Amino acid sequence: MMDLFSQIEEPEREELLALRKELEEANYKYYVLNMPTLSDREFDEKMHRLQDLEAMFPDMFDPKSPTQHVGSDLDKGQRTKDKGQNGKAFETVKHKYPMLSLANSYSREEIEDWARKLPAGVEIVCELKYDGLSISLWYENGQLVRALTRGDGQQGDDVIANIKTIPSIPRHVVGTPSSFEMRGEVLLPWERFEALNKEREEQEEPLFANPRNAASGTLKLQDPREVARRGLDAYLYYMLGEDLPGTTHYERLQTAKQWGFHISDAIKVCHSVDEVMAYIAYWDTERKNLPVATDGIVLKVNDLQTQEELGYTAKTPRWAIAYKFPAEKQLTLLKEITYQVGRTGVVTPVANLEPVQLSGTMVQRATLHNEDFIRQLDIRPGDRVWVEKGGEIIPKIVAREKTKDRPADSKPLSTLSEAVYSFPTLCPECGAKLVRVEGEAAWRCPNEAGCPPQIKGKIEHFVSRKAMDIEGLGEETIDLLYRQGLLHNIADIYDLRLEDIAAQERLGEKSAQNILDGIEASKNVPWSRVLFALGIRMVGETTAKKIAKQYNTIDALQWATAEQLTAIEDVGPQIAENIVRYFEDMRNLEILERLRKAGVQMEGEAAEEPQSDKLAGMSIVISGTFSHHSRDEYKALIEAHGGKNVGSVSKKTSFILAGENMGPEKLKKAESLGIKLMSEEEFLQLISE
């Protein structure tokens, strides 16, 4: 214990731990939720800092650190509407060759640094860096047999049914070696992306921030027909396997093109950094005319023998590097600063701009982040500012143009006593006095129960997919119902009548009925998700699950003390305090009582007891499709009888629960290891004996 404390006293060690956490979270938001929170550049800068800190403190090495592995898109089996209840939609399969990432560079100097480490005179292939998600395609005897996402780099999800909907990916090829792998990028073309977002807007569904997120969300859908409708495309850029033709990367790609693969025409063999820079300069502008998103270029050593000699680090090849295009920036006039109150009460300063064209769209509002940001950059109305659109949907101000043409009468954001121009002290929506929590950059409106955006935000959160999942009740409808006084808090949802909803503009009886059905169905949502849906500050999905497991009823939770709560994993003093405060507020207690009366689940089911220990100690792989039960049900049955369901076949596998059309790789592996295949009938027989 002593040791740990003395370590943590050094601020850099704390910074290291905080960075690991932040980058892990950013990876999760990027790869799993498809909602990026950091720009690539910010991410890389933080990653570099973490690498430096880890070099400073070798004793803090951790193989789980984000510096040691690539981000993961693996489907962890959370329930979403696209999957079955608690279902894992795709089979997770180990990659034959790990899927690595690329080191990034942002300047000529960084490219030169990389090139210096290569043998003199090597050829460098320049390619476009397509901004989609990587895919690994396996061909056996000319047939496409597997299509894996990158996953965590070691294993990925098999999304072959969805990949087969992409017209530019061949399902059969001829004249190829008997087995090989092609890697490439799956993309949603700009045109399709815009059409999809327009459609989602009309249906009040959340928009995708960029084509990459849209492609990623699409590839993980459960319905291949919907995937086909969205119109994905793919470019291939890497061939792997044994006894492949050619001695250079370039040759191989040209061969792949002859086999029928979609290979970009923008590939160039370069002989100097000058030539590379010319390629970059050309494509930095020309890429705007391409049908798909690109975010940089990739440089690869052409000669395959040299590639092999250069080898790999834990995360990236040494024979390749990415160069990232700078995010597009524009200079424009800051006309006025207004303030926007978010769903959680945070007040964000917004720059109202002279409209300017940026990455294909007209921008007239951008975030100024917070008070400190404005002060540090001394930004004032009338200034000329740089606005940038990164990977996020909301543009941001990144700098002030420091020329002399600032209006003579402009004043810095001052304190109130100077009374010239200051950050508001009162909420612009409801007039409550704003508070600034110590250690946070944001000013917040504390009037949770009376401030319109916060009221609506709480309701939106409550009905969202991961919470009560009430379909049809979108942002606009909530706004309409709120303004008519029909919806003021989450409990009001359960008092809505058909005629209230059907009377709304744009909402006919049919959609009204749909909403009512959704509300009815939400009464079956389990207690742990109800707890998450309540929107207690900092109680996220995972924390809610952990709390609900410990406190099986809301009554038990209501009487828990902060001290008792902090005994739960993941619950720190701040979260505990938020929970205690939530239950101290009479208004919340009233709402909870109304929810209970409406039939919302306020208690968990008793934990399921194992039904037997017939499968105790066994590791069982499920493969193929079944007729008596779903895969998920079989998984539950295995667990209920004391067994463990594992993803891949190994020596330790006890048997394979084999359905129809079992994967060929698994079959081969099972045969070679002599592992028994069991039919579903045999399995059901075994557990019922």
Q: How far apart are CA 533 and CA 460, in angstroms?
A: 9
Residue with tokens 């792998």: 181
Closer residue to ligand IVH in complex, CB, 249/666 = 249
- Cβ distance 196 to 128 under 8 Å? no
Name beta bridge partners: 388.
Answer: 329, 396
Residue with tokens 């050619």: 246
- In the bound complex, what is the minimum distance in angstroms from residue 156's beta carbon to ligand IVH? 12
- Cβ distance 261 to 236 under 8 Å? yes
Helix axes 11-31, 40-56, angle to 10 degrees: 140
Query: 43-75 burial string, b = 16+ CB within 10 Å, else e?
Result: bbebbeebeebbeeeeeeeeeebbbebbbbbbb
Closer residue to ligand IVH in complex, CB, 327/516 = 327
- In the bound complex, what is the minimum distance in angstroms from residue 134's beta carbon to ligand IVH? 3
- In the bound complex, what is the minimum distance in angstroms from residue 40's beta carbon to ligand IVH? 9
Closer residue to ligand IVH in complex, CB, 185/383 = 185
Closer residue to ligand IVH in complex, CB, 219/649 = 219
What 3 state SS string does 446-466 have? CCCCCCHHHHHHHHHHHHCCC
Most distant CA pair in the chain, distance:
89
Closer residue to ligand IVH in complex, CB, 153/535 = 153
- In the bound complex, what is the minimum distance in angstroms from residue 55's beta carbon to ligand IVH? 22
Ramachandran bin of 51, using left for φ above 0, alpha for ψ from -120 to 50, beta for the remaining angles = alpha
- In the bound complex, what is the minimum distance in angstroms from residue 267's beta carbon to ligand IVH? 8
- In the bound complex, what is the minimum distance in angstroms from residue 82's beta carbon to ligand IVH? 23
The secondary structure element, H or E, covering residue 339 is strand 329-341
Q: How far apart are CA 96 and CA 92, in angstroms?
A: 13
Q: List all residues 6 or more positions away from 575 whose beta carbon is below 8 Å from its beta carbon.
A: 538, 539, 543, 565
Residues binding ligand IVH (CB under 6 A):
100-102, 127, 129-130, 134, 185, 237-238, 298, 317, 320, 322
The 3-state DSSP class for residue 679 equals coil
The secondary structure element, H or E, covering residue 170 is none
Q: How far apart are CA 423 and CA 438, in angstroms?
A: 17
- In the bound complex, what is the minimum distance in angstroms from residue 53's beta carbon to ligand IVH? 23
Closer residue to ligand IVH in complex, CB, 212/461 = 212
Residues acting as catalytic residues: 129
Closer residue to ligand IVH in complex, CB, 99/657 = 99
